[in-house]
Amino acid sequence: MEDGQPESVTQAERLAGLIADSVLSGEFWPGFHLDETALAERFGVSRTPVREAIRLLASTGLIDVKPRRGAHVATATSAQLETLFGAMAEIEATCARLAALSAEDGR
């Protein structure tokens, strides 16, 4: 494939990655309404892979889908942010410990 992704990646998975990139870059902000028709036009696909991509992203928690209200970029609650910051602190502590061990070994 010319975009560097393996052949086994479906159009919906590729599209989910592009939408996720737009969310993570801040182009699609928390609460942003994901219009299927607009996304299909933007990415040059039909609405079917857009719907599938939205379903994939909803299963990760990045997108909220509500009946008759559509799909929106998820908004993190303060409890979720607290959990994420706690996890980040643990990861940073582990990285610092591993860096210190590597420095002691002379690597």
Averaged over 84-105, what is the pLDDT?
83
Averaged over 59-74, what is the pLDDT?
92
Q: Under a CB-based contact definition with an 8 Å cutoff, are residues 20 and 62 in contact?
A: yes
Q: Average model confidence (pLDDT) for the chain?
A: 86
Averaged over 84-102, what is the pLDDT?
84
Averaged over 88-104, what is the pLDDT?
86
Q: Under a CB-based contact definition with an 8 Å cutoff, are residues 15 and 50 in contact?
A: yes
How confident is residue 3, by pLDDT bands cut at 50, 70 and 90?
low
**Is residue 88 helix, strand or coil?**
helix
Strand ranges across the sheet with 70-73? 33-34, 70-73, 63-66
Q: Under a CB-based contact definition with an 8 Å cutoff, are residues 74 and 30 in contact?
A: yes
How confident is residue 1, by pLDDT bands cut at 50, 70 and 90?
very low
Q: Identity (one letter) of the amino acid at 48?
A: T
